[in-house]
Amino acid sequence: MNTLTVLDLLGLNCKSNKDLKLSVVAGRKGLAREIGTSYVNRPGLALSGFFDQFAHDRIQIFGRGELAYLKQLSREQCIDSLEKLFRYPIPCCIITSEYDDDSAIIEIGEKHNIPILKTELNSSDFALRIITVLGDYFAPSEIIHATLIEVFGIGVLLQGDSGIGKSETALELITRGHRMIADDAVKLYALSGEILMGTGANEVTRHHLEVRGLGILNVNHLFGVGAIREKKQIQLIIHLEEWAPQKNYDRFGAQDITKTYLGIDTPFIELPVKSGRNIPILVEIAAMNERLKKLGYNAAREFNENMLEWLENKRTRDLYFKNEDQF
């Protein structure tokens, strides 16, 4: 299971609608405390003295309700309530309300070395954002050798032996206007057990391509920010392999073949490589065809159905004319 410290949470590169807008107001000595789960908790019941099933291992969010409850207590009652709460090994507390009267929380947090953070976001917005951020971080993951690129909006994972041409194929696709996510080392992670996502396993090398004979290329600098993405849902896996004359490759595409990563099945294609085959164009066509399938159109299935209908009609016509000749 992944672990995340409070200091790591502050340093997460959260962009746009996932920016947590956090700042530390107390308990800096406890920034090394670990957050071990993607769930968060509202400690309203615990503040009132009910600690059965108290989820103390989660981030504690103090919103309007919690602060309003503390505000109606006397100073002594407020301190006593917080002292009971902070005796538990809480990772950190986050104040999300606009109230300024949070001095008691800051005082007790400092005393117990429990980080107290503040955000300018309201409780609802903050809860949605932090659940998304922590969900991404704690999602089941693995790192594989592959290249991930977005082609016509479809996340395509290119696999194959080293030297088969994955990076060269990706480079050609980038020059055609498609976008790169990662090369060589791709980190896969599962969201909600249903969506397979991919990103670069290493932030330093994420948008670099290794092309034999050219060396390391920085895609961002060569082609601009429009040629890269941070992450992408993987919707198609293409395995590049040397053409084997004795192997029977799929010629109709009527069967739905999948490959499983982290318990998620993803459409899978074996694409043989040999001299004269334009692999980047084939990858583009495969991505467009997968997009059509997601819109409900399957060319191979339609062809198969049309052929069966034609054969049935031809058989009926032959039988009709054969019977007519008997009269």
Q: Which residues are catalytic?
A: 145, 166, 184, 251
Q: Find where tokens 């084997």 sit.
A: 244
Pairing label, strands 195-200, 179-191: antiparallel
51, 87 in Cβ contact below 8 A?
no
C-alpha dihedral (15, 25, 126, 155), degrees to nearest 10 = 30
C-alpha dihedral (93, 94, 98, 101), degrees to nearest 10 = 20
103, 68 in Cβ contact below 8 A?
no
Q: Which two tokens stand for residue 191?
A: 């969201």
Which three-class secondary structure state does DSSP give residue 226?
A: helix
What's the rounded Cα separation, in Å, for the pair 282 and 218? 25
DSSP letter for each residue of 3-61 = -EEHHHHHH----GGG---EEEEE-GGGTTPEE--S-EE--HHHHTT--TT--TTSEEE
What's the rounded Cα separation, in Å, for the pair 155 and 160? 17
What's the rounded Cα separation, in Å, for the pair 106 and 62? 12
Which three-class secondary structure state does DSSP give residue 218?
A: strand
